[in-house]
Amino acid sequence: MRPSYLGKNHLHWCDNCHTPVLGRVCSCGTATREVLITPPGDARPGFEMDIRHINRVYYEHFNTSLIPEGHIVILNKIPDKDRMEEVVMGGAVVCSIRYLPEERRWEVLPRVHATKFAKPEKKFVVVDTGAIESIQNGSSVLAPGLISIEDSVVAGDEVFIVDKCGECIGVGRAKVDAKTARTMERGSIVRTRKVKKSECFPGPATWDEAIVSNRDHLRNVEAEAINFVKNVAKDNLKLPMNVSYSGGKDSLATLLVVLRALGKVPLLFADTGLEFAETYENVDRVVEHYGLEIIKTGNGDNFWETFEREGPPAVDLRWCCKACKLNPVKELVTEKWGECLSFIGQRKYESLARMKSPRIWKNNQVRVQLSAAPIQHWTALHVFIYLFQEKAPYNVLYERRIDRIGCYMCPSSDIATFELIKEEYPELWGEWTEKLEWWKNQNNLPEKWIKNALWRKRGLDADDDSSYT
């Protein structure tokens, strides 16, 4: 049973339309089935670049691409050492893909259903009919049950377990190399990975079709959010209102809801000075598209001043939020209005802390701002399908495998994302590394403090190599 504090799993699948549906019935009238994903289940669409990335990693290992053209892919981020996502197709998890920071590489953990989309051309073992039942019940592949093992398999590899007809019956991790396995008369060859049984029905579909499938559900969740905004506004008539806009998808969806509920309101943009160029472009674009007033805080000089005194911000020493967002917002609100009501794109599925957060609150650091979260109960998939439906100008970074938009060097980011930024935005990353170098030399820190991103956590011993997370 899914613990209730994690919220409800909204992700369902329509096997008639081959689309994700955020409720029990598709707009086509077909009853949907729940997709079994790991909680909290803040799933999002897989974009073209995600698909290419997954296919590349999959191909390197299994010599075949996983995702055929014209299929909807959903990604669900799950807790791991660094970055890990479940890949959903045909209404089931078909594999997970994870980044191994020590080895600087991606790894695929396949599921049986992956073979409905692509048959592996390497990294598999063939087992005898008599061994199938026990393997399906979770037993290891043992030497006597092995018929053949593909040449390239080495110990530690993720492999498919197939029967004599080529039908996949399980997945697991090889314990020995192919060469060794062939000499063995007893002992275990593959440790089987047990996963919950689920159904998978492949079929092509587009996101336009997914919008249609979700039309009724989105109308309901939008109506609920609009109603919430109207009520909060009515209860706080004296407060000037705005939408806190960050350049991210959640604040954009919030803006759309508020525009429908109240008409035009100004945007409040806390410029940290550490945003991607694409984020600044998005802010300008949204302002123009909806014809809104924008009010901006300072440009982030605070950040570099504090950096010189404190060193880089860390997950356990996050002075950046206070210096670059909360304090400037407090000053601005106090100066401009005295007090205000801000609609914010906070969602409970983002994190456990947000699961527990109320929908209307005041931040202790910014008592002059009353905050309200119209899309508190939405998942990332609600947000994206809503933005697709409304043809809203969302930040292009989401299509470039950057799923959390904020400061480019946020210490809460994973190393996989940093590696991506290093590659795609070398100038931005070069500037950051230069500052880190300076602090490292000032404080006689080891090389790996930068190389292994140890700067992200202050409390840990810099000699502790396990501090990747």
List residues near Zn ion by CB under 5 A. Answer: 14, 16-17, 26, 28, 30, 213
**Can you tell me whether residue 313 is helix, strand or coil?**
coil
- Nearer CB in complex with Zn ion: 13/269: 13
- Nearer CB in complex with Zn ion: 194/219: 219
Count of CB atoms within 10 A of residue 13's CB?
27
Tell me the closest approach of the beta carbon of residue 201 to Zn ion, in angstroms: 12
- Report which secondary-structure segment, H or E, holds 279: helix 277-290
Cβ density class 79-96: b for 16+ within 10 Å, e for less: eeebbbbbbbbbbbbbbb
**Can you tell me whether residue 171 is helix, strand or coil?**
strand
Angle ∠(424,429,434) on CA atoms, nearest 5:
155
Tell me the closest approach of the beta carbon of residue 23 to Zn ion, in angstroms: 11
Tell me the closest approach of the beta carbon of residue 28 to Zn ion, in angstroms: 3
Tell me the closest approach of the beta carbon of residue 449 to Zn ion, in angstroms: 52
State the residue number with the nearest CB to Zn ion: 26
Tell me the closest approach of the beta carbon of residue 89 to Zn ion, in angstroms: 16
- Nearer CB in complex with Zn ion: 16/357: 16
Instruction: List Cα–Cα distances, 77 to 60, 153, 301, 404, in angstroms.
Output: 22, 28, 33, 11
Instruction: List Cα–Cα distances, 188 to 169, 319, 419, 452, in angstroms.
Output: 17, 51, 37, 35
Among residues 421, 426, 454, the alpha carbon closest in space to that of 440 is found at 454
Count of CB atoms within 10 A of residue 460's CB?
14
- Nearer CB in complex with Zn ion: 28/292: 28
Cβ density class 147-167: b for 16+ within 10 Å, e for less: eebbeebeeebbbbbbbeeee
- Nearer CB in complex with Zn ion: 29/291: 29
- Nearer CB in complex with Zn ion: 21/181: 21
Tell me the closest approach of the beta carbon of residue 382 to Zn ion, in angstroms: 17
**Can you tell me whether residue 189 is helix, strand or coil?**
strand
Count of CB atoms within 10 A of residue 131's CB?
20
Tell me the closest approach of the beta carbon of residue 76 to Zn ion, in angstroms: 21
- Nearer CB in complex with Zn ion: 23/39: 23
